[in-house]
């Protein structure tokens, strides 16, 4: 008789290939919680807020420590150059047609009124400029305007040189310190008056040639921007119609398996980026004050900035540590396999679509500037540190600036803002409906993008509007190639115009 065992042993579990399973686990077993999401948000917004605050404080300190008269702004200088090029500087258009345009130069500042005086004397006669100059002296005598010692010195020097020009006499050269104050405060107008009063024909010819070249450059830029603006507007309308009829298929896919990983990654990156900026500034300052100071110029600073940009991308190690596979990471942030050459046209279309959006940003910037001026007084003008570097360096500096602005910044910023941050925001808001998700993701990522740039508070709508266009390119194409191209073209166009005109 066969004995039956009390217990039948369970069957052995099937063997599982752990190597084959590991990619699945890497993608789908990422632990996240409310706390990790919250820490990511707090980290990202805290650093972005700190960077924006430092920009505002720096602008305020620069304004308060300037100690001298205000400086002529870029718009006024460009307007003056164009009027001069159209008149005595080149095209010789009848001055009576140009004089009414001089009102664009004048505001309540002393420097703008002096610029008006100088250009009026060029377009008509020095006596016409002296009439406006006399009105400034009369207002000062009546106590309706108050001048600082530096402004008084500037007014006296302009009066001295203008009276010399009116009398046909060659004025004595100003002391170098006062001549430099005039150039710094009045820019092109100061150079013009100094050259005219000293009968420096070579400088006058150079200024005329520069003004005419600037006018040609500006005309080319107008054709460029209008052409791309109209093309971009048409593209936005076509994309909108296709989307409304369900004919537009987004290549951006949304999933929910990465949790808070990408907001954590972005918070780490922006923290690293901020620290690397501080390290770069400190290193340049220390070396410039050392025995190596003679070799530390703007070129070194630009090379160091370019290196630090790419070093900051080491933050992308974090998703791998958190369990995202390398192939999944590349696909998620828009760096999957793509034919870059086929993305050139979509990249240019993305840039073109950004110009109509940019117009909205410019209008918002004007409104924001007006509100801030009413509430908090005169705001510092929007500026970028790179503007000063352009004036300091030679051709090598210009090449490095283009590398930073057209390669380093587009690659780094698109990976982190439209790649990492935008991916997280779209996944975070995936259940809100497509329109609300798009609006939320574009708004938040674009605001942070604009806020961490050094141009200041009033420029946030301008930079944010460009960022929205880059988000549209990311959503449309799926990859980052088109937004990177659009970003590089945008920076390159503005930089070329800046260098050519100023």
Distances (CA, A) of 46 to 41, 52, 270, 423: 8, 10, 10, 20
> What pLDDT, on the 0 to 100 scale, is given for residue 349?
97
- Asked if residue 467 lies in contact with residue 445, where contact means CB atoms within 8 angstroms, the answer is yes
283 contact partners, CB below 8 Å, separation of at least 6: 304
Reported as half-sphere exposure (CB side, CA atoms, 13 A), residue 218 has a value of 16
Nearest to 251 by CA among 131, 388, 426: 426
347: enclosing H helix or E strand = helix 344-376
> Tokens 């500096």 map to which residue?
397
DSSP state of 168: T
DSSP state of 433: -
Distances (CA, A) of 42 to 38, 45, 53, 267, 305: 6, 5, 16, 8, 26
> What pLDDT, on the 0 to 100 scale, is given for residue 427?
93
Rg (C-alpha) for the chain, rounded Å, is 29
CA 150/CA 109 separation, integer angstroms: 14
CA 441/CA 479 separation, integer angstroms: 16
CA 470/CA 477 separation, integer angstroms: 11
The domains of the chain are located at 32-63+250-501, 74-209
Nearest to 389 by CA among 488, 487, 502, 308: 502
DSSP state of 186: H
**What's the token pair of residue 373?**
């001026």
CA 202/CA 200 separation, integer angstroms: 6
> What pLDDT, on the 0 to 100 scale, is given for residue 363?
94
pTM: 0.83
Q: What is the largest CA-CA distance in the chain?
A: 139
Q: What is the pLDDT along the chain (502 residues), one digit of tens a residue?
A: 445 455 555 555 555 444 433 333 334 447 788 899 999 999 999 999 898 888 777 766 655 555 556 777 777 788 888 888 887 767 777 666 666 666 666 667 788 888 888 888 888 777 777 887 888 888 888 888 888 888 888 888 888 888 877 776 776 777 888 888 888 888 888 888 888 888 778 888 888 888 888 888 889 999 999 999 999 999 999 998 998 888 888 888 887 778 899 999 999 999 999 999 999 888 888 888 877 777 777 788 889 999 999 999 999 999 999 999 999 999 999 998 999 999 999 999 999 999 999 999 999 998 988 888 777 766 666 666 666 676 666 788 889 999 999 999 999 999 999 999 999 999 999 999 999 999 999 999 999 999 998 888 888 999 999 999 999 999 999 999 999 999 999 999 999 888 877 6
> What pLDDT, on the 0 to 100 scale, is given for residue 309?
94
């Amino acid at each position: 008789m066969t004995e039956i065992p009390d217990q039948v042993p369970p069957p052995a579990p099937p063997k599982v290939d752990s190597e084959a399973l590991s990619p699945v686990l890497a993608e789908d077993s990422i632990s996240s919680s409310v706390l990790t999401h919250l820490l990511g948000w707090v980290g990202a917004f805290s650093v972005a807020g700190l960077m924006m605050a430092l920009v505002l404080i720096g602008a305020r300190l620069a304004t308060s420590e300037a100690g001298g008269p205000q400086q002529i702004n870029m718009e006024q200088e460009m307007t003056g150059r164009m009027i001069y090029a159209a008149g005595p500087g080149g095209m010789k258009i009848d001055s009576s047609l140009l004089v009414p345009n001089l009102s664009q130069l004048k505001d309540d500042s002393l420097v703008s009124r002096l610029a008006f005086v100088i250009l009026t004397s060029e377009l008509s006669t020095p006596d016409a400029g002296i009439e406006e100059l006399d009105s400034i002296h009369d207002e000062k005598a009546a106590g309706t305007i108050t001048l600082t010692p530096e402004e008084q010195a500037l007014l006296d020097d302009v009066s001295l040189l203008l009276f010399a020009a009116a009398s046909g006499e060659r004025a004595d050269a100003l002391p170098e310190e006062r001549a430099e104050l005039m150039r710094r405060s009045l820019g092109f107008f100061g150079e013009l008056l100094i050259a005219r009063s000293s009968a420096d024909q070579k400088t006058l010819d150079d200024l005329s040639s520069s003004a005419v070249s600037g006018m040609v450059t500006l005309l080319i830029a107008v054709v460029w921007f209008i052409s791309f603006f109209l093309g971009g507007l048409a593209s936005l309308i076509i994309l909108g119609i296709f989307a409304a009829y369900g004919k537009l298929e987004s290549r951006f896919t949304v999933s929910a398996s990465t949790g808070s990983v990408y907001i954590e990654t972005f918070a780490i990156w922006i923290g690293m980026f901020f620290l690397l900026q501080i390290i770069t500034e400190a290193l340049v300052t220390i070396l410039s004050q050392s025995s190596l100071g003679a070799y530390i110029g703007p070129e070194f600073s630009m090379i160091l900035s370019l290196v630090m940009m790419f070093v900051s991308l080491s933050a992308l190690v974090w998703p791998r540590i958190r369990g995202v596979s390398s192939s999944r990471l590349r696909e998620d942030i828009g760096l999957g396999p793509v034919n870059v050459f086929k993305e050139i046209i979509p990249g240019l279309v993305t840039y073109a679509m950004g110009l109509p959006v940019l117009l909205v940003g410019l209008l918002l910037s004007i409104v924001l500037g007006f509100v801030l001026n009413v509430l908090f007084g005169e705001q510092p003008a929007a500026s970028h540190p790179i503007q000063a570097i352009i004036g300091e360096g030679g051709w090598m500096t210009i090449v490095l600036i283009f590398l930073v602005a057209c390669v380093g910044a587009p690659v780094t910023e698109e990976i982190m803002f439209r790649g990492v941050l935008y991916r997280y925001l779209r996944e975070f808001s995936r259940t809100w409906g497509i329109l609300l998700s798009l609006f939320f993701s574009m708004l938040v990522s674009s605001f942070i993008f604009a806020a961490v740039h050094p141009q200041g508070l009033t420029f946030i709508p301008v930079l944010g509007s460009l960022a929205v266009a880059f988000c549209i390119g990311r959503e449309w194409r799926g990859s980052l190639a088109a937004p990177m191209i659009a970003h590089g073209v945008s920076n390159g166009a503005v930089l070329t115009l800046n260098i050519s005109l100023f």
